[in-house]
């Protein structure tokens, strides 16, 4: 992939605190990249640094081979959609969308045509004379997007623009933005803390942790092949067990425990190791059966566990069970309900079992 936006060895400090600790990232032309992470990980700082609102203490930022590291925001060919939308409350929809064109001194007739084009693109045709206070959250978000796109930016930057929308509207608008980005072929960098939002919208996800890139890859790669305990947990593999493992070529043997059987998991292409380990898996990836049912035991591969149902609830779609495994508990989602107190067997398929070295103090 040829880099259109290139961030190289970039560091940013706020006083004595280094917020970005050497970021290296390339974004291809027309690619949609999501910066994903929890609060304080550096994702918004990185976006603002790309936009030109933060000056790096080290490193370079290039757009199409042009060094923009020290250039002001208005010289970078980018547009930023803020989390708060930042619309002028005294201006109409037309005036808000056309604000950047006015600053660029575009002739009035051309600007009017461009505003009309944006309204048509975003379904705002009938709202041109309304002010932001008379719009819904979804409509205000579209106006902010129209203002950003009106100036025909080389790169569109999105700073959690959906976080102020209610859940139902957010689902609709995220698909609209993604479809629009693909239709226009525009390069986009999107900041979000919402894992599902990143998975649905982005071509590639960059997970940040403590000012560093923890992993980058397609949504499928970071979800199914997390490269660390942190990434696995962040991508939803919240069930955790402490295990002992022994490397056997490209496989790892998991020692039997009071609530688990010995298991061997294959890890082709991944370095096996010996010692204390953490096993992670998702609640929906587990097979569950009554203890009297030996169906799970006849299947090859994966980790077999024995537990007791502690709690049962129904959040919708699947039954959610808290399964007690000695001193540990795991969450298991299943199509059928298992009663509280029932003894059950669990099977975690080996391709849904993520094993990493235990943290050392």
**Other residues' Cβ atoms within 10 Å of the Cβ of residue 45:** 21
CB burial of residue 64 (10 Å; 0-12, 13-18, 19+):
middle
Q: Which tens digit of pLDDT belongs to each residue from 227-264?
A: 999 999 999 999 999 999 999 888 899 999 889 888 98
Which three-class secondary structure state does DSSP give residue 352?
Answer: helix
CB burial of residue 233 (10 Å; 0-12, 13-18, 19+):
middle
**135 shares its domain with 284:** no
Contact by Cβ (8 Å): 275, 244: yes
**How far apart are the C-alpha atoms of 262 and 323, rounded to whole Å?**
19
**294 shares its domain with 198:** no
**Count of domains forming the chain:** 2
Tokens 């560091």 sit on residue: 11
Strand 187-192 versus strand 32-36 pairing type: parallel
**198 shares its domain with 219:** yes
Give pLDDT, residue 1: 62
Give pLDDT, residue 361: 43
Contact by Cβ (8 Å): 34, 222: no
Contact by Cβ (8 Å): 309, 341: yes
**92 shares its domain with 155:** yes
**299 shares its domain with 353:** yes
Q: How many residues does the chain have?
A: 361
**144 shares its domain with 36:** yes
Q: Which tens digit of pLDDT belongs to each residue from 125-180?
A: 999 999 999 998 888 988 998 999 999 899 999 998 888 777 777 888 888 888 88
**How far apart are the C-alpha atoms of 299 and 280, rounded to whole Å?**
20
Q: What angle do CA 143, 149, 153 make, to 5 degrees?
A: 150
**How far apart are the C-alpha atoms of 243 and 279, rounded to whole Å?**
7
Give pLDDT, residue 241: 94
The DSSP call for residue 83 is T
Question: Please, which residues have CB within 8 angstroms of residue 258's CB and are 6 or more apart in sequence?
Answer: 326
**How far apart are the C-alpha atoms of 228 and 356, rounded to whole Å?**
7
Averaged pLDDT score across all residues of the chain? 91
Give pLDDT, residue 41: 93
Give pLDDT, residue 359: 75
**139 shares its domain with 264:** no
Domain boundary among 230, 264, 283: 230
Contact by Cβ (8 Å): 337, 319: yes
Give pLDDT, residue 108: 92
Contact by Cβ (8 Å): 356, 344: no
43: left (phi over 0), alpha (psi -120 to 50) or beta: alpha
**260 shares its domain with 195:** no
Closest alpha carbon to 278 in 361, 359, 214, 360: 359
Give pLDDT, residue 7: 97
**92 shares its domain with 136:** yes
The DSSP call for residue 255 is P
**Other residues' Cβ atoms within 10 Å of the Cβ of residue 254:** 23
Count the alpha carbons within 13 Å of 94 in the hemisphere toward its beta carbon: 11
**105 shares its domain with 166:** yes
Phi, psi dihedral angles at 39 (to 5 degrees): -60, 135
Please give the residue range of the domain that contains residue 335: 237-357
Domain boundary among 206, 230, 254: 230
Domain boundary among 166, 196, 230: 230
**351 shares its domain with 278:** yes
**113 shares its domain with 197:** yes
pLDDT averaged per 10 residues, the chain (length 361) = 91 95 96 94 95 95 95 92 87 93 91 92 90 90 90 92 79 85 92 93 96 97 94 95 91 90 83 91 93 69 91 96 94 96 94 86 43
**How far apart are the C-alpha atoms of 287 and 334, rounded to whole Å?**
8
Give pLDDT, residue 221: 96
CATH number of the structural domain spanning residue 321? 2.40.50.100
């Amino acid at each position: 992939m040829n880099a259109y936006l290139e961030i190289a060895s970039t560091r940013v400090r706020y006083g004595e605190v280094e917020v970005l600790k050497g970021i290296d990232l390339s974004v291809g032309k027309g690619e949609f990249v999501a910066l994903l992470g929890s609060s304080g990980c550096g994702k918004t700082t990185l976006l603002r640094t790309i936009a030109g609102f933060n000056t790096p203490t080290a490193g370079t930022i290039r757009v199409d081979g042009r060094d923009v590291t020290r250039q002001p925001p208005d010289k970078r060919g980018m547009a930023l959609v803020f989390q708060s939308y930042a619309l002028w409350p005294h201006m109409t929809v037309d005036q808000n969308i056309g604000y950047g064109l006015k600053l660029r001194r575009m002739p009035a007739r051309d600007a009017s045509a461009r505003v009309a084009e944006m309204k048509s693109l975003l379904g705002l045709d009938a709202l041109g004379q309304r002010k932001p206070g008379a719009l819904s959250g979804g409509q205000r978000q579209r106006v902010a997007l129209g203002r950003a796109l009106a100036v025909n930016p080389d790169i569109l930057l999105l700073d959690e623009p959906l976080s102020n929308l209610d859940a139902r509207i957010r689902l609709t608008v995220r698909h609209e933005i993604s479809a629009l980005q693909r239709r226009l072929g525009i390069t986009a960098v999107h900041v979000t803390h919402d894992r599902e939002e990143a998975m649905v919208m982005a071509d590639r996800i960059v997970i940040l942790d403590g000012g560093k890139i923890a992993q980058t890859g397609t949504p499928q790669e970071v979800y199914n092949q997390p490269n660390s305990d942190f990434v696995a947990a962040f991508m939803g593999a919240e069930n955790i067990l402490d295990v002992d493992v022994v490397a056997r070529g490209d496989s790892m043997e998991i020692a039997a425990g009071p609530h688990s059987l010995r298991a061997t998991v294959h890890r082709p292409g991944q370095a096996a190791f010996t010692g204390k380990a953490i096993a992670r898996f998702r609640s929906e990836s587990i097979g569950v059966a009554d203890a009297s049912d030996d169906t799970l035991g006849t299947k090859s591969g994966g980790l077999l566990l024995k537990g007791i149902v502690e709690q049962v609830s129904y959040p919708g779609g699947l039954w959610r069970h808290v399964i007690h495994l000695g001193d540990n508990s795991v969450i298991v989602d299943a199509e059928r309900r298992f009663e509280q107190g029932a003894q059950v067997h669990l099977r975690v398929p080996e391709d849904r079992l993520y094993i990493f070295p235990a943290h050392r103090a």
